[in-house]
Amino acid sequence: MFSNKRVNEEDFERERRVILSEIRMRNDDPGTLIYDLGPRALFGDSDYGAPIIGSEDSISSITVKDLKEFLESYYTPDNTVVSIVGPINMTINEVMELFNKWEGRSGSKKKPTIGKGGPIIIKRPIESAYLSYSWQYNVTNEDPLLLSIKSSLLEFHLVNGLSSYLVSRFRSKGLTYSIDMDRDYLPGTYYYQLVVSAINEENIDAVKEELINALLSINDLFNDEYYLSKRLNYLKYLISDYLRRPLQIAESLSYMELKLSNHDIDRFNKGLEEHFRDSLSNLVTDGVWSAIIPS
């Protein structure tokens, strides 16, 4: 895949049609489209605000020549992390030998553009509404690994499991049964997005108010010892379950190395327990709403 990068015109056009079909399907599915609105509302018309899958215009305009040049520029040894997890009876040197004929150096990387967006409201002929609340935390001198640990804990406390802070609050008040979180570590900033799905239209304002109130009072959860004890045991279970899944570990190792220049999974998991009770309010900043509502 890497050392013999051949691009067949027929395969290229077939894949283009597949991706264009996926884009149209995403745009027709409010439960998927809402995730694309969060970055666009936060970062506007910029690289950070654009959907990862691309747009119909960008995919339609790509040529085989463009793809070959991209592969030559960025799919290079110095721009790649190889993560192998499992009962493999090979030394590091033997693994490196498999790749030693692969040559080349990456070209200069474009500095991503970052803009400023605003609230987005889309009307569709749907039965229920979908809301997104997105915000960013500007990174200064923090340890990237520690920031990633605390961001993981923020997601865990807010939406991971039925007993999590937001899910339990929303379910107990009958506002929604579906709330999710997306986040990513980008150069210079950490991006967060909360997505609330399948909301009755008349409850939109109540959901917004409840979400903001919950985020403003997030540190209140650290006053409940019963909650913390129960949730810590659940976190330990999730870590144990995760460590039984080689593919997940390999993906995490690659992500951590590329994003944080650190792939110490054991240190990360220990950090989750060590910082379990740390205040998280500083990670929550003013954000922006996006919505897909019934027309």
Number of domains in the chain: 2
Three-state DSSP at 26 gives helix
The edge-to-edge listing of strands for the beta sheet with 288-294 is: 120-124, 288-294, 129-138, 189-199, 179-186
The reported pLDDT for the residue numbered 59 is 95
Instruction: Give the model confidence (pLDDT) of 96-127 as tens digits.
Output: 888 888 888 888 888 899 999 999 999 999 99
The reported pLDDT for the residue numbered 33 is 95
Are residues 177 and 80 part of one domain? no
The reported pLDDT for the residue numbered 176 is 87
Three-state DSSP at 230 gives helix
Could you give the maximum distance between any two Cα atoms of the chain, in Å?
A: 62
The reported pLDDT for the residue numbered 104 is 84
Tokens (6 digits) for 159: 């939406």
Q: Nearest-CA neighbor of 119 among 286, 289, 294, 287?
A: 289
The reported pLDDT for the residue numbered 18 is 96
Are residues 239 and 182 part of one domain? yes
Q: How far is CA 280 from CA 22, 89, 181, 218, in A?
A: 36, 42, 15, 7
C-alpha 279/C-alpha 172 separation (Å) is: 25
C-alpha 88/C-alpha 235 separation (Å) is: 29
- The answer to whether residue 182 is domain-embedded is yes
Q: Quote the mean pLDDT of the chain.
A: 92
CATH code of residue 61:
3.30.830.10
Q: Is the pLDDT of residue 3 over 70?
A: no
Q: Report pTM.
A: 0.91
Are residues 197 and 56 part of one domain? no
Q: How far is CA 54 from CA 15, 113, 120, 168, 234, in A?
A: 14, 15, 19, 35, 37
Are residues 152 and 211 part of one domain? yes
CB distance 290 to 134 below 8 Å:
yes
Q: Is the pLDDT of residue 141 over 90?
A: no
CB distance 47 to 112 below 8 Å:
yes
- The answer to whether residue 218 is domain-embedded is yes
Q: Is the pLDDT of residue 17 over 80?
A: yes
Are residues 132 and 92 part of one domain? no
- The answer to whether residue 119 is domain-embedded is no
Instruction: Give the model confidence (pLDDT) of 145-167 as tens digits.
Output: 999 999 999 999 999 999 999 99
Query: Residue 76 belongs to what domain range?
Result: 9-99
Instruction: Give the model confidence (pLDDT) of 47-105 as tens digits.
Output: 999 999 999 999 999 999 999 898 888 888 888 898 999 888 888 899 888 888 888 88
Q: Is the pLDDT of residue 5 over 80?
A: no
Q: Is the pLDDT of residue 178 over 80?
A: yes
Are residues 93 and 48 part of one domain? yes
Instruction: Give the model confidence (pLDDT) of 253-290 as tens digits.
Output: 999 999 999 999 999 999 999 999 999 999 999 999 99
